[in-house]
Structure 1
Amino acid sequence: MALTLRLHLFFLLWVFNSSIILALESESAKSDSNSHEEESNKDYSLEATGSFDPIFKIQQTYLTVQVDELNSTNTPRAQDEKRRLLKELSRGHGKWGDQHPRKKLLDALFSYSRYFERNVPDVNRWRQLYNHVSSKHKRLLDRTISYTKKFDKAESLLRQNHLLCEDIVNEALNYYEIGRDELRKHIADSEKVGIVADKMSVSQSLKHIGRDWTDDGIDERNGAFPCILDSVQSLFPNRKDSKYKVLLPGSGLGRLGYEVAALGGFEVTNNEVSAFMNVMYRFIEAQNKRDAFQVYPFVDGWSHHVTQDDMFHQLSFPSMTMNNSNVALVEGDFTTVFKGSKDKFDIIITHFFIDTARNIMSYFETISSLLSPDGYWINFGPLLYGTGPWVQLTLDEILTVTEDMGFQFVDVPESCGSLTFPDKKVRNREAAYGNSPRALTKNAYHAQAWIARR
């Protein structure tokens, strides 16, 4: 490894020496009026598109060759978390039942394992319904657009997605140290009593790949991330030799956490309770090559497509690898898994998260407990409450309640949008979530952004 690094450093110095003159000439030729880009045109994606001067290219090359050293799974923090997790997942830990974390994990693996079986009946149903179409209309449809081939194409791509799901399951069995026989028995026992695999959760996990880890997701990420990253940087502008601790509960597939870590000076903890998301996260985390896998996230829905190619659109992932020693995933319930971590975090970021609570008050209490004195809570997201919430608060009620709990709201960067109230420090901007960029429909929110100091 040492020899390899020396070779990389030699290459770096050679390219730097051969390019620095060109870089300096390029810089001197720029006018002062063009020396600063407009804030609204920032691209906060780690694989941001556009051209860079040679110096930045050199830096990117250097980081790329350091993949083995930066892998987030090899850090002591990640290894400690894995030991904790495997202990919690053991059958002898706690009372066995539907809420046991191992049972939830096995349920998720069961669902991934049955992806094709749960989705192909939809295609067969469309085939059967097509039989009601008259022969005249069928001839027209097949002559002009080869309509019947659409069923075969959809079924073929569902099989491709299923192969990906099998890879995801295999990686999960390896990471969580679960034997294949245990999973087979769990599947057989579940199906024996009529339990069916969760088709929707697997489908949503596949679609989340597009949002977090493909080039197609850049528009959605840029709708939310700039506000959050600007907020983080404004709170801690001087981070040399610092490691401010940041927690992101409900982190999903984790891309935002890696963007925060890329700012430098932050130790990031992603946190997610969904076994479906965590299984996918572990699969992506294990990859060391960009765009090594393909997914067809929209093949299971036949509505809102401009073209057939849009429905069958292929996404390659991951667009970057999870190689950062300053990020670790903690699996579990946000309100319980961090017990014993009082006053630990300098920043807690809730991104499309607080409305997922059964009891939103417990979220507020946990945030207050985990933040260090004078720590900051950054929020960005909607108020789309799920089924069966115990408490459903309006935005102004949230502000009133949390202020009474001791939170003090501070100014929010203008990149977070316009003021929601003329007399309160809350901003809002439209943020899309879970869309195909080519779809005829759009799922978007007036996401609310605030920064509150404990």
Structure 2
Amino acid sequence: MSPEHQHPDGEEWEGGYDPLADPEERRVLYATVDSFRQYRRNAHMNTTHRRRQLFYALPSAHWQMLSEPPFSLLDNFNKVDDAIDTNAEIADAILQVGLQSFNLSPTPEKGDPIGNWQDVATTEDVNKAHSTIRQFYRDWSLEGQAEREVCYEPVLQDLHHEFKTRSDNGEQIRVLVPGSGLGRLVFEVCMAGYDAEGNEISYHQLLASNWILNHTAGPLEHALHPFALHFSNLQSRTQQLQQVQIPDVHPGQAMQAAGSAGQRIGTMSMTAADFIVHYTEPSNQETFDAVTTVFFIDTAPNLIRYIEAIRHCLKPNGLWINVGPLLWHFDGGKNNKTGDAGPEPGIGEPGNVELTEEEVLSLVERMGFRLEKRGDRRPCGYIQDPNSMLQNTYQPSHWVARKVTGA
């Protein structure tokens, strides 16, 4: 396939590949677009409507007591509904970008088997829309900075340690960011002066990153209630209804300001493709100076395939920087597939294997890399409410490996 690209200057979804031409690809895209359309209705139904029914099922004296101050639970349901509507404005904006990007009609004919994208999303698709919108908290809010610093700062420091002098001397350093999600690390690498290429396979992530990178008007323009739909482990209702503003930094304006100030910035692009297939193609052989994998390698059903792709696309002596846990989770490539891998091995290839950190590092060295650095473990959450009574904390592995010359 010819990969599609998106840039902060407004160019997006370029390339010769047409996902609407392939029936399975079209189905996945339509389900993704429809999942953002269904966000508002689904969130109201499954969050507040259901809870109101259960609330009124309590003994009358009980629900009446809890509807009065200081509890005012019925009032809180109304506030959560308002928060859902606020979040749904983001979902609707992503929906509009998706419709425009793929030239889909906002009001398709119900009987059209090809052009009707409505009412095709599954519960799983809608859940992905929910988690994608919450992810803006981590990647594009000021409040999510603590999580980003643990994961992104070590990568930027390692890049500077290896490449800053060369970059300052005018050399173009190409950095690949697979599993780029909502594009924040791609943006940060670009702002650090390197040519950053993100890669993503999920249409949910691609549509959302396209919106935040290319279609927002300015910083702090959009309100988000990241934890409004969660009712457990709360200290207070204020905590549940916390509002943040996104994006904390507007990508286009930040790049323009940096360029005007004489700061060296790199280029930024995004490929929509199966990482394994696209980056083992001959055209990508030895094209990148560094590959940065952040919370990514544990998405591999077969890590050997990922390592082969990284080794293939890295230049001799190129750097592989990794930060992340080993929460092995496999989607099988069936619901997030972008592009037809044909006979080549891709993310949907049968089989999977789960490895320990020791085994991962042994495999990396076995397959043509030299481990050069083991970083400190810095605990962090992932879209974690810092005030929640339940704290899910990772201790990500941080290491740097170099491709052995001739490997």
- TM-score w.r.t. the length of structure 2 is 0.82
What is the CA deviation profile of residues 290-326 of structure 1, one whole-angstrom value per residue up to 9, with x for unaligned ones?
1111122212221122211221121211111122462
CA distance in 1, matches of 2:107, 2:67: 46
Deviation (angstroms), 1:402: 1.8
CA distance in 2, matches of 1:218, 1:320: 11
CA distance in 2, matches of 1:119, 1:434: 18
Give the one of 196, 205, 211 matched to 1:268.
Answer: 196
Letter in 2 for 1:379: N
Do structure 1's residue 164 and structure 2's residue 60 form an aligned pair? no
Mapping for residues 57-206 of structure 1, pairs under 5 Å: 72-74=7-9, 79=11, 82-84=13-15, 87-92=16-21, 95-97=22-24, 100=25, 102-122=26-46, 123-143=48-68, 144-182=70-108, 191=119, 195-196=122-123, 198-206=125-133
What is the CA deviation profile of residues 71-91 of structure 1, one whole-angstrom value per residue up to 9, with x for unaligned ones?
9433xxx85x7321xx32343
Deviation (angstroms), 1:215: 0.6
Letter in 2 for 1:440: M
Structure with greater Cα Rg: 1
Match in the other structure for 1:36: none
Match in the other structure for 1:367: 310
Q: Determine if contact 1:216/1:437 at 8 Å carries over to the other structure.
A: no
Give the one of 251, 258, 261 matched to 1:322.
Answer: 251
The residue matched to 1:145 in structure 2 has which SS?
coil
Deviation (angstroms), 1:393: 1.2
CA distance in 2, matches of 1:197, 1:181: 24
Q: Determine if contact 1:119/1:199 at 8 Å carries over to the other structure.
A: no
Match in the other structure for 1:439: 388
The residue matched to 2:293 in structure 1 has which SS?
strand
What is the CA deviation profile of residues 209-249 of structure 1, one whole-angstrom value per residue up to 9, with x for unaligned ones?
01011111011112222211111111113022121000000
Q: Determine if contact 1:203/1:297 at 8 Å carries over to the other structure.
A: no
Do structure 1's residue 300 and structure 2's residue 300 form an aligned pair? no
CA distance in 2, matches of 1:183, 1:210: 36
Letter in 2 for 1:146: S
The residue matched to 2:379 in structure 1 has which SS?
strand
What is the CA deviation profile of residues 324-377 of structure 1, one whole-angstrom value per residue up to 9, with x for unaligned ones?
462111112111233221100000000000000122111011000010111010
CA distance in 2, matches of 1:439, 1:400: 37
What is the CA deviation profile of residues 166-214 of structure 1, one whole-angstrom value per residue up to 9, with x for unaligned ones?
121112222333333459757967748x955722101111111010111
Do structure 1's residue 252 and structure 2's residue 181 form an aligned pair? yes
CA distance in 1, matches of 2:123, 2:362: 44
Give the one of 155, 163, 180 matched to 1:236.
Answer: 163
Letter in 2 for 1:82: W
Give the one of 408, 425, 442 matched to 2:370.
Answer: 408
Do structure 1's residue 342 and structure 2's residue 270 form an aligned pair? no
Letter in 1 for 2:291: I
Do structure 1's residue 333 and structure 2's residue 282 form an aligned pair? no
Uncovered stretches (5+) of structure 2, i.e. residues with no partner: 1-5, 256-265, 333-350
Letter in 2 for 1:267: D
Q: Determine if contact 1:110/1:183 at 8 Å carries over to the other structure.
A: no
CA distance in 1, matches of 2:269, 2:118: 32
Match in the other structure for 2:3: none
Letter in 1 for 2:400: I
Letter in 1 for 2:60: S
CA distance in 2, matches of 1:183, 1:222: 47
What is the CA deviation profile of residues 379-407 of structure 1, one whole-angstrom value per residue up to 9, with x for unaligned ones?
00000011476111111111222211110
Structure with higher RCO (Cα < 8 A, 6+ apart) = 2
The residue matched to 2:394 in structure 1 has which SS?
strand
Letter in 2 for 1:96: P
Match in the other structure for 2:398: 449
Match in the other structure for 2:301: 358
CA distance in 1, matches of 2:387, 2:210: 29
Match in the other structure for 2:342: none
Deviation (angstroms), 1:134: 2.4
Identity rate of aligned residues, in percent? Answer: 26
Deviation (angstroms), 1:251: 1.0
CA distance in 2, matches of 1:189, 1:235: 47
Q: Determine if contact 1:354/1:360 at 8 Å carries over to the other structure.
A: yes
Match in the other structure for 2:259: none
CA distance in 2, matches of 1:119, 1:145: 23
Letter in 1 for 2:89: L
Provide closer, same or farther for how the CA distance between residues 195 and 251 of structure 1 changes in structure 2, counting only shifts above 3 A: closer
What is the CA deviation profile of residues 32-53 of structure 1, one whole-angstrom value per residue up to 9, with x for unaligned ones?
xxxxxxxxxxxxxxxxxxxxxx
CA distance in 1, matches of 2:67, 2:132: 34
- TM-score w.r.t. the length of structure 1 is 0.74
Provide closer, same or farther for how the CA distance between residues 187 and 445 of structure 1 changes in structure 2, counting only shifts above 3 A: farther
Name the one with the larger helix percent: 1
Letter in 1 for 2:240: M
Provide closer, same or farther for how the CA distance between residues 378 and 183 of structure 1 changes in structure 2, counting only shifts above 3 A: farther
CA RMSD in angstroms comes to 2.3
CA distance in 1, matches of 2:384, 2:89: 24
The number of equivalent residue pairs is: 358
Q: Determine if contact 1:116/1:159 at 8 Å carries over to the other structure.
A: yes
Uncovered stretches (5+) of structure 1, i.e. residues with no partner: 1-70, 418-427
What is the CA deviation profile of residues 406-446 of structure 1, one whole-angstrom value per residue up to 9, with x for unaligned ones?
1001134xxx31xxxxxxxxxx3212211122222222211
